[in-house]
Chain A
Amino acid sequence: MVKNNVKYLLAIMFIVFSVSVFINSCAPKKPKVDQTAIMREQERAAEEAKLKAEEEERRKFDEAMKAEQERRATEETRLKAEEEARLKAEEEKRVEEERLKEEEGEITPQVAREAETKAVPQLGDIHFDFDKSDIRADSREILQKNADWLQNNPDIKIQIEGHCDERGTAEYNLALGERRAMSTKKYLISLGISADRIYTISYGEELPIDPNHSEDAWSKNRRAHFLVITK
């Protein structure tokens, strides 16, 4: 019985030993398995993180693109609106200018290139102050008479020549003579003469009526001269 007990004991001890050996042999193995798993886990996590980061980046990029597109669209709309506003302003300005022009009586010159002309005693010259083109008080009566004669002779067309004295430059006087002819034309229009009956030309200081160099000569030379168009 004792012998049997010993046998059992030995058997138990063997089992315990073998189990402990088994356990021992297993124990060191366990961390090994865990490490690989952790590494794999880590790798996977890293991979995932990378993918996630990439995904995030792509998302951010898409967002930026979208924002940029939106910005561009807004900019385009803004520019378009601005352009429209500018065009509208320009159009308004043009209309306003036309209106002002009409109000001011701004008219464009009309030229008689092929015409033949002659002076008639019924149309008197008017004179101007130095470097001036406004109608003097003493010219109004003459212009009224000229206008009356033109009213009574509705088929007659005239040419107004603007002239200057020699005391300016030829360059500036060419423009000044033009202004004198045009202001005379405007005055006649205001007296009821139709604009298309009145042609103008500036001779600047080129055709003085009195070639002398005195105030008397100069005041004669600063004139608007009237001619009847005969052909």
Chain B
Amino acid sequence: MDKNKEIRSQKSEVRIKAFFFYLLLTAYCLLPTAFADTSDVYLSITKAGGAKIRIAIPDFSFQEGAIDRENFSRKSAEILMDDLNNSGFFKAIENRDILKEVNTKDKKTGKINFNEWTSSGAETLAKGHITIEGGKINIECRLYDLKRGEQIIGYKYSGDRTTFRQMIHKFSDEITYRFTGEKGVAMTMLTFISKATGNKEVYISDYDGQNIRKITDDKSISLFPKWSPDGKNIIYATFRYKNPDLYLINVADGKKTPVSIFPGINAPATWSPDGNRLAVSLSKDGNAEIYTMDIDGKNLSRLTKARSIETSPAWSPNEMEIAFTSDRAGSPQIYIMGSDGTNLRRLTYQGSYNDQSSWSPDGNKIAYTSLNGGQFNIFVIDLVSNKVQQLTSDTGDNQNPAWSPDGRHIAFSSNRDGKYQIYVMNSDGTDQRRIIYLEGGGYSPSWSQRIE
């Protein structure tokens, strides 16, 4: 029997050796592909705010003989320019006359005059050709390296009028990917609250504030919309049934499902990064406490127990922790605990009123709102060094920071121009700009993941 064992162990040793050999062999075989993949990425840029790539984007050419009634040829170039300028990596050539001149020459000569394009100040060139086919729009997009005089990528998109902007956004994300190795955020969306109809309802828009649509019709008060990680649903609070209840709304068909309808407050809520759980502030047991639950409201688990207010939960990207606001020490401050309620610690000590935590996608920072001297401003705290950075100042009230999925931008609401409206800035506080203006104002933005 011992002998048998020995033989067996010898056999398995041989097998393990063979396995490692194959493993090495496979790894070796895979190496060239992996490298090939990397070389697909044209240039590597890791920091926003570094030297920007200058890109020439002439108006897209339009189908021979057809009339461009909706001005698609100009619009497409403009959308692409905005997308690439917004990304923070590109600087589109602004001189339209030069763009037009060289483009006309290209058309006449039937080739791309790389030298002429280079002398316009550009390093790279994006061109598109639009054709209409039975109500369908086809766009052929190409990106060229001017120095080498060659095409880098080419894509063909088609769809109806409603997807026109999306097609250009898609091309923009591909360009960003070729130059940075990371897809851009042109295919992401925002959700926010507006009173455009007189009641606070939930709205969605493209990441650039275009294509605004109202998705609720509760004719009540709707608050705190948050995109699900898969981009299909939005969780929000509504007073429609005479209590601040938590509802899930399917963005595609508008179907509403009650999630948490306990007596008392059932909001605000936040998604777990895997989209399976929600962290919610509930007052069903007497005062506002943080609970977690499945997205159908089941498997309720209470995380906090205090006589103070516990609200505004924010789940960490690695699912391990939840940040929230508590006034247990006398004023609202931000705390962090494990997602099971253990390891509680206080995060903010600066400022007498801090709320609305939003975790950066890399998990290293938390953006929040601080009330100081009668004004709200947005701050970012580094979770490693505890260093605090103020992102907005001297521009009215600024609230509700929401990170873009690439961590390079923060959407927020500000009343700097009168009513609260939706703004976007770089995550270091630079380039603050209003992206939506609605008579009914804009509140409480939430940024989606990429939605294809």
Contacts and interface: CB of A to CB of B under 8 A. Distances in A.
B331 to A, nearest CB: 7
B378 to A, nearest CB: 12
B445 interface: no
Nearest to B313: A171
A142 interface: no
A178 B223 contact: no
A203 interface: yes
B357 to A, nearest CB: 10
A172 B312 contact: yes
B356 A174 contact: no
A204 B263 CA distance: 15
A202 B268 CA distance: 13
Contact of B242 (A109, A112, A171): A112
A178 B325 contact: no
A108 B262 CA distance: 10
Interface of B: 200, 221, 223-224, 237, 239, 241-244, 263-265, 267-268, 281, 283-288, 307, 309-312, 325, 327, 331-332, 353, 355-356, 369, 371, 374, 376, 399, 443-444
Given A171-B311, A202-B244, A178 B283 contact: yes
B191 to A, nearest CB: 15
A171 B268 contact: yes
Contacts of A108: 263-264, 284-286
Interface in A93-116: 101, 104, 106-115
Given A113-B242, A115-B242, A174 B285 contact: no
Contacts of B331: 131
B355 A172 contact: yes
- Most chain-B CB neighbours within 10 Å: which of A104, A114, A170? A170
- Most chain-B CB neighbours within 10 Å: which of A106, A171, A176? A171
A27 to B, nearest CB: 49
A171 B283 contact: no
Interface of A: 101, 104, 106-115, 131, 167-172, 174-176, 178-179, 182, 200-204, 206-207
A20 B221 CA distance: 134
B311 A101 contact: no
Nearest to B285: A108
A169 B242 contact: no
A179 to B, nearest CB: 6
A206 B221 contact: yes
A110 B283 contact: no
Contacts of B287: 106, 175, 178-179, 182
A113 B240 CA distance: 10
12 contacts: A107-B286, A108-B286, A111-B242, A111-B264, A113-B242, A169-B312, A170-B444, A171-B268, A171-B312, A171-B356, A172-B312, A204-B223
Nearest to B283: A178
A178 B283 CA distance: 8
B264 A169 contact: no
A203 B243 contact: no
